[in-house]
Structure 1
């Protein structure tokens, strides 16, 4: 069961970040286009994804270390018998504007970071996520939970945290698509 869950998370990482990666190849005018609602442009959205990943990965790294330490002392096989991610609740994280999200100031994009640097950072972060899943391939990730206040998730384990990171990026794919559509309408005028 845990192998199936890990495989699903890995597949989602690959799919979502492949889609994020494609945004680095769009028209430069589109990347810096400021939407009419005063929101971020695509460049800032991409930077925000990498910033959020950075801070989530700090927590994921610590949780991975603690889960592996606990696995050396505790038998976690009973926890895996009926284990499942709360897919529906986590999938809600990936839906743009489904709920209010008050992000911390340190996750605010500046808009001045070089796109190549952001792209490289995102690639490193994807590799880091995959590495943690490999380290936790036997279900160790269920042994350590951390509180996630976003959308009332509460205490979540390492697998949930990694899937949360992916869903956060997915949320912003929708946002960038909305910007693209608005940009294309303005270009037609």
Structure 2
């Protein structure tokens, strides 16, 4: 059995990251729309990017969860759990801006097509979707499907690691948002 604390840890990281993302929607518009000097994204654009990326990650996560539950009928869960090797150390690097090189696909770039409240609602729905996936895989079934992740050359990851990745990606962009906010504060003095 996958330790309950692993699922609880993933859920806690998700709740913390998504709550912090949600807090930024209450920030003054001037901060959220500030363009950094390096030409990077505004906070609103970063939030939209996180929601877009989550959309595509959740497609893979949902497919993986469905396949894992189907595989539970033909694979030995105990054997698969014993053989599980999480890429946790390399997954933790995902939250550190500049820790590795990777170019995001164009379809994950923000285009300003949704309002702040729409992006906020999407992020809240995505958190609930992640939590629903974890609740459907309470006994370790998530190890029964592995999908390739090219970011940071992570390779094959199980469903739990994919959900953890989604949370770490949010943390990465929370650090980026903090940098934009710090620059804004310095510029407005």
Same fold (TM over 0.5): yes
> 1:159 and 2:160 equivalent?
yes
- Equivalent residue number for residue 25 of structure 1: 26
What's the secondary structure of 2:103's corresponding residue? coil
TM-superposed deviation, 1:100? 1.5
TM-superposed deviation, 1:54? 0.2
Mapped to 1, the partners of 2:131 and 2:99 lie a distance apart of: 28
Which blocks of at least 5 consecutive residues in structure 1 are unaligned?
Answer: none
- Equivalent residue number for residue 97 of structure 2: 96
TM-superposed deviation, 1:75? 1.9
Mapped to 2, the partners of 1:62 and 1:112 lie a distance apart of: 27
- Equivalent residue number for residue 145 of structure 1: 146
What's the secondary structure of 2:104's corresponding residue? coil
- Equivalent residue number for residue 35 of structure 2: 34
TM-superposed deviation, 1:89? 0.9
Moved over 6 A (4+): none
Q: Contact (CA 8 Å) 2:86, 2:157: kept in 1 or not?
A: no
> 1:54 and 2:55 equivalent?
yes
| Alignment TM-score, normalising by the size of structure 1 | 0.96
TM-superposed deviation, 1:82? 6.0
TM-superposed deviation, 1:97? 1.7
| Alignment TM-score, normalising by the size of structure 2 | 0.96
Mapped to 2, the partners of 1:140 and 1:94 lie a distance apart of: 26
What's the secondary structure of 2:4's corresponding residue? helix
Mapped to 2, the partners of 1:160 and 1:76 lie a distance apart of: 17
Deviation string for 1:75-108 (max 9, x for gaps)? 2112223645332111100111211221011101
> 1:175 and 2:176 equivalent?
yes
What's the secondary structure of 2:156's corresponding residue? strand
Mapped to 1, the partners of 2:149 and 2:81 lie a distance apart of: 21
Which blocks of at least 5 consecutive residues in structure 2 are unaligned?
Answer: none
Mapped to 1, the partners of 2:149 and 2:101 lie a distance apart of: 15
Q: Contact (CA 8 Å) 1:2, 1:83: kept in 2 or not?
A: no
